[in-house]
Amino acid sequence: MALSREQVAMRVAQELQDGYYVNLGIGIPTLVANYVPDGIEVMLQSENGLLGMGPYPTKAELDADMINAGKETVTAATGAAIFNSADSFAMIRGGHVDLTVLGAFEVDQNGNIASWMIPKKLIKGMGGAMDLVAGAKNIIVTMTHASKHGDSKLLESCSLPLTGVNCVKKIVTDLAVLEVKDGAFHLLERAPGVSVDEIISKTAGKLLVDGDVPEMVF
């Protein structure tokens, strides 16, 4: 079975390392804050000026002034700092973010990402995505493996306007974990109950499968 949004976030959280500064994009990436593994400390950054995001608040903890990039209310972790968005983007552009997790419409086998617009549809602008994919040391993309119409989102070449070039290192979809290197997708893990053949059929770009592919473990 395909992973739920929460399970995708849980799997991404396994990529966090102690001491990381991590930016979480809008959508599934924001859920990662709820699944930081025990025993490690990470500082979650929101480009609107919060460094040290905690998990989503309970009703008692809710503060309407404490929000993430998706305008959702969040909590502040111990040691958190609040500053203006100019300082936040200086941190991003200066290469001080270890990992960025963001969604995408398409990713191709060369690590290019299209995440900010679909032509002829209303858009609000690129936002911080271009800075994030250019400034972070590592990029992980979360998305569904295929569109609601069944079209693959993992392509030989992106068809939509690009957000960044040769920047995506790893992808966690509802079907698989893939690494992007040497002009191909490399299948690392598959969702429990999902076959390699299904993943192959839903990947339009070059996909390399080396031996037995383990199921994800949560």
pLDDT in the model for residue 118: 79
Residues with active-site annotation: 47
In a domain, 53, yes or no: yes
In a domain, 215, yes or no: no
The CATH number that applies at residue 89 is 3.40.1080.10
In a domain, 205, yes or no: yes
In a domain, 214, yes or no: no
pLDDT in the model for residue 124: 67
pLDDT in the model for residue 93: 93
pLDDT in the model for residue 211: 94
Owning domain of residue 55:
5-209
In a domain, 218, yes or no: no
pLDDT in the model for residue 65: 86
Q: List phi, psi (to 5°) of 187.
A: -80, 115
pLDDT in the model for residue 125: 67
In a domain, 217, yes or no: no
pLDDT in the model for residue 80: 94
Per-residue pLDDT of the chain (218 residues; tens, 9 = 90+): 899 999 999 999 999 999 999 999 888 998 998 899 999 999 999 888 899 988 889 999 999 988 887 788 989 988 999 999 899 999 999 999 999 999 999 999 999 999 988 776 767 666 678 899 999 999 999 999 999 999 999 999 999 999 999 999 999 999 999 999 999 999 999 999 999 999 999 999 999 999 999 999 99
Number of domains in the chain: 1
